[in-house]
Amino acid sequence: MTDPDPRVAPPRASLPRRAAPALLGYAAVRALGLAVLAVWSAARGTSAHTLLTARWDALWYTRVAELGYGYEVRLPNGDVHSNLAFFPLLPWLERLLHALTPLSYADAGFTVSVLASLAAAAGIFAVAEHVRGPRAAFFTVLLWAVLPVGVVQSMAYSESLFTALAAWSLYAVLTGRWVSAGALAALAGLTRPVGVAVIAAVWTAGLISFARARSTRHAPGAHHEERATGALPAPHTPLRPPGALPSPRALATRRALGMLLAPLGAAGYVLWVGRRTGGGPLGYLDVQAGWRNGFDGGYAFARFVADKFTSFPSALAGCGLIAGVALLIWLYVTGVRERQPAGLLVYTGVVLALALCASSYFGSKPRLLIPAFPLLLPLAGALARARTSRSALVTAGLAVLAAVYGAFWLNGSGPP
């Protein structure tokens, strides 16, 4: 009897079954958040349904779905708020669901976000499992659920939809499914401006993979398996049998096609806006300028933080902001030291840069960081190594705090 081929992966549960516990935990956290929001809103005489579906950006998305583009508001100071600032994929899905069901546009947006949040949680699990293993993946999903502004994941906003597309595109990159990665990146580019982060991840991983394939093509005994970094597969990813591997030429073709697909969504919408406004290729930037949004390298945010130190009470908030930014940078640097795949690092870096270095409304920065889920991997690894009782206590406590804060936030200043 011959020994089994050690490269053939042993049978194991499918990804949906492996992710099921994490998805159940995620659903429980989100249900708790919505329940607390409903009670809090009822006590204040406000409508939780309205807060989730028909306020702030959610209202702009439903207007696009119902009336199309062209709506704008001119403010007394001369600023022009145009709905061209909002990318089209979420409104398209709202319009489609409204046409197929009795749901209103607002309720369609809420439904899309709820379903997309589950898809995002599954994608986050898949990425984290590939990089850190199943236990860390479980806690990565739970940590994403208990973010202080996690209630946005259940609002008729585009964060959940974008994160779902980004996570699955990154997973496709990590597993060498280049065409899928490019197609999902194109859809992410139709969802939010930060879609450039997914495009950058696909291109970076693709270029590294091309370079590694070129350098090892003629090396004797070179390994044909790929990751986004061009290195060997992660220890948590079983190797495929050699017969399942595509030829180097076919793999290069798929990789090139994925890289070509990736920027089509974002580029298509930005160019369409430029043509519609007459502003040329940079017309979308003019639209964003009407909202006082831009990229200044963090100067405006730094001034905003510095202004907090003009009085004692606000100085505490300034210290909190500095500590929060320091934590984000520390988590990113830890990911670099842990040698996370290049695609993840580039994606997270671009999301961080766009969130922290933009001159947009500063209260929106926490929710702009929601898609940066790879930052949670070091924390999830720590929870995975801790005793189960301690990890459960920590995540349960964070879930309660997030639920209370989400209800307080939406009934107060709230997004945008």
pLDDT digits (tens, 9 = 90+) for 157-188: 999 999 999 999 999 999 999 999 999 999 99
Which pLDDT belongs to residue 308?
A: 80
User: If pLDDT is split at 50, 70 and 90, which confidence band does 226 have?
Assistant: very low
The answer on pLDDT for 4 being more than 60 is: no
Which pLDDT belongs to residue 224?
A: 44
pLDDT digits (tens, 9 = 90+) for 189-222: 999 999 999 999 999 999 999 898 887 765 655 4
Arithmetic mean of pLDDT, 265-278: 95
User: If pLDDT is split at 50, 70 and 90, which confidence band does 11 have?
Assistant: low
Which pLDDT belongs to residue 220?
A: 54
pLDDT digits (tens, 9 = 90+) for 282-332: 899 999 988 888 888 888 888 888 888 887 788 888 898 899 999 999 999
Higher per-residue pLDDT: 8 or 260: 260
The answer on pLDDT for 67 being more than 60 is: yes
pLDDT digits (tens, 9 = 90+) for 322-366: 999 999 999 999 999 999 999 999 999 999 999 998 877 777 889
Which pLDDT belongs to residue 10?
A: 52
Arithmetic mean of pLDDT, 91-119: 97
The answer on pLDDT for 86 being more than 60 is: yes
The Cα 305–Cα 244 span in angstroms is 54
User: If pLDDT is split at 50, 70 and 90, which confidence band does 51 have?
Assistant: very high
User: If pLDDT is split at 50, 70 and 90, which confidence band does 227 have?
Assistant: very low
Arithmetic mean of pLDDT, 83-102: 97
